[in-house]
Amino acid sequence: MTTQKTGTWRLTVRTDFAAAHQLRHYEGKCERMHGHNFGVEAVVEGGALQPKTEMLIDFKVLKTMLKEILSGLDHCHLNEHPAFTERNPSSENIARFIYKEMEQRLEGSGVRMKSITVSEKPAQSATYFEE
């Protein structure tokens, strides 16, 4: 008896934004206000291509969704953003915030969030995903 395999497509888009933040309770220099050019990588996946275009979702649509979310974070003091007035604006929490926002925008599209990665520098990043 052979098992039929099903395929999954995974798409990735990358962009960045600039913002300042202060890490509460850090007990180091990052507790003072400082800024980053945050890199953001969004990964989505799905098992069915759109019949007409034979694409999972247009990259342009994904980039537009991501840029809409990041426009609210770009060039702001993240501690003053409603998502981070109580929660620390760490890379981990920024990644979770972006993930949740993208997940809402993808609802009903047949495409699901896989992960969001936020980097403060090329050599360090935080990834949020749900299982």
> Is 120 one of the catalytic residues?
yes
Q: Is 36 a catalytic residue?
A: no
Structure confidence by residue, pLDDT tens digits, 48-67: 999 999 999 999 999 999 99
Helices 59-71 + 91-106 axis angle, to 10: 130
Q: Cα–Cα distances in Å, from 5 out to 8, 108, 110?
A: 10, 24, 19
pLDDT of 1 reads: 66
pTM of the entire predicted model: 0.94
Reported as a pLDDT band with limits 50, 70 and 90, residue 72 is very high
Quick one: DSSP state of residue 101? H
Q: How far apart are CA 131 and CA 119, in angstroms?
A: 22
Catalytic residue among 31, 75, 80, 130: 75
- Mean pLDDT for the stretch of residues 24-45: 95
Which residue shows structure tokens 């520098």? 121
Digit-coded pLDDT (tens) for 103-131: 999 999 999 999 999 999 989 999 999 99
Judge whether 76 counts as a catalytic residue.
Answer: no
Average pLDDT of the residues in 10-17: 98
Alpha-carbon distance of 116 to 4, in angstroms, equals 30
Is 23 a residue whose pLDDT tops 70? yes
**In angstroms, rounded to a whole number, what is the distance separating the alpha carbons of residues 77 and 67?**
18
Which DSSP string corresponds to 44-89?
A: EEES---TTT--SS-HHHHHHHHHHHHHTTTTSBGGGSGGGSSS--
> What's residue 3's pLDDT?
75
Q: Which of 30, 34, 68, 130 is catalytic?
A: 30
Domains and CATH numbers, the chain: 9-128 (3.30.479.10)
